[in-house]
Structure 1
Amino acid sequence: MRDALLRNLAEMHQYEIVTLHDARLQPPALANRSIEVTSGQFNREFTEALATVDLVWLIAPETNGVLLKLSELCYASHDKGALFLGCGFDATLIGTSKTLCFEALQEAKIYTLPVYAGEDLVAGKHTELSSENISTWVAKPEDGAGCDGIELFDSMRDLTDWIKQDDRYLNYLAQPYQAGVAASFSMLCRNGKAWLLSCNKQHIVRDGNQFQLSGITINGMVAYWQRFETIARKIAKMLPDALGYVGVDVIVDTEHDHKIYVIEINPRLTTSYVGLEQALDYNPAKLILDCVLNDKFVMPNLAKKEVVISL
Structure 2
Amino acid sequence: MFEFITGGGLAGRTLPASLLAEGGMMLQALLDDLKSLPNLELLLPLDQRCLNLSLPANTRVIPITRADNINPILQDLIRQADLVWPIAPESGGILEQLARTVFNSHKVLLLSGAETIVLCADKLATCRRLAAHALPVVPAQSLSGINDMPFRQCVIKPIDGVGCEGSLIIDGSEALLAVMNGLGDPANYLIQPLLEGQAISLSCLFKQGRGWLLCCNRQQVAVEQNRFRLEACVVNTANPRRDFYQNLVERIALAIPSLWGYVGIDIIETADQGPLILEINPRLTTSYVGIKPATGINVAEQVFHLLDGEPDLSLSNDQPVRVDIH
Q: TM-score, normalised by structure 2?
A: 0.86
3-state SS in 1 of match to 2:163: coil
Q: CA deviation at 1:238?
A: 1.1
Q: CA deviation at 1:282?
A: 2.5
- Kindly indicate whether residue 170 of structure 2 is the aligned counterpart of residue 153 of structure 1: yes
- Kindly indicate whether residue 284 of structure 2 is the aligned counterpart of residue 284 of structure 1: no
Q: CA deviation at 1:309?
A: 1.1
Residue of structure 2 in register with 1:97 after alignment: 122
- 8 Å contact kept, 1:163–1:169: yes
Match of 2:60 among 33, 54, 57: 33
- Kindly indicate whether residue 274 of structure 2 is the aligned counterpart of residue 270 of structure 1: no
Residue of structure 2 in register with 1:230 after alignment: 247
Tell me whether 260-269 or 84-93 shows the greater mean CA deviation. 84-93
Alpha-carbon RMSD: 1.7
Match of 1:59 among 77, 84, 87: 87
Deviations along 1:212-248, one digit per CA (max 9) or x if unpaired, are 1111111225222111111101111111111110100
- 8 Å contact kept, 1:116–1:173: yes
- Kindly indicate whether residue 119 of structure 2 is the aligned counterpart of residue 119 of structure 1: no
3-state SS in 2 of match to 1:120: coil
- Kindly indicate whether residue 269 of structure 2 is the aligned counterpart of residue 261 of structure 1: no
Residue of structure 2 in register with 1:50 after alignment: 78
**Unpaired runs of 5+ in structure 1?**
none
- 8 Å contact kept, 1:195–1:299: no
- Kindly indicate whether residue 85 of structure 2 is the aligned counterpart of residue 70 of structure 1: no
3-state SS in 1 of match to 2:251: helix
Match of 1:106 among 112, 128, 131: 131
3-state SS in 2 of match to 1:43: helix
3-state SS in 2 of match to 1:104: helix
| Distance of aligned partners of 1:25 and 1:219 in 2 relative to their CA distance in 1, 3 Å threshold | closer
Q: What code does the residue aligned with 1:161 have?
A: A
Q: TM-score, normalised by structure 1?
A: 0.90
User: C-alpha distance in 1, partners of 2:40/2:280?
Assistant: 29
User: C-alpha distance in 2, partners of 1:247/1:310?
Assistant: 17
3-state SS in 2 of match to 1:271: coil
Q: CA deviation at 1:94?
A: 1.4
Deviations along 1:29-67, one digit per CA (max 9) or x if unpaired, are 415112223456111111110011111101001121211
Higher relative helix content? 1
- Kindly indicate whether residue 27 of structure 2 is the aligned counterpart of residue 2 of structure 1: yes
Count of aligned positions: 296
Q: CA deviation at 1:168?
A: 5.1
Q: CA deviation at 1:289?
A: 1.3
- 8 Å contact kept, 2:303–2:311: no
Match of 2:321 among 300, 307, 310: 307
Match of 1:199 among 202, 206, 216: 216
- 8 Å contact kept, 1:90–1:239: no
User: C-alpha distance in 2, partners of 1:165/1:297?
Assistant: 49
User: C-alpha distance in 1, partners of 2:252/2:310?
Assistant: 19
Deviations along 1:156-199, one digit per CA (max 9) or x if unpaired, are 33123202214252422111111110001011101100111001
Residue of structure 2 in register with 1:297 after alignment: 310
Residue of structure 1 in register with 2:18 after alignment: none
**Unpaired runs of 5+ in structure 2?**
1-25
Tell me whether 208-217 or 12-21 shows the greater mean CA deviation. 12-21
Q: What code does the residue aligned with 1:52 have?
A: Q
3-state SS in 1 of match to 2:162: coil
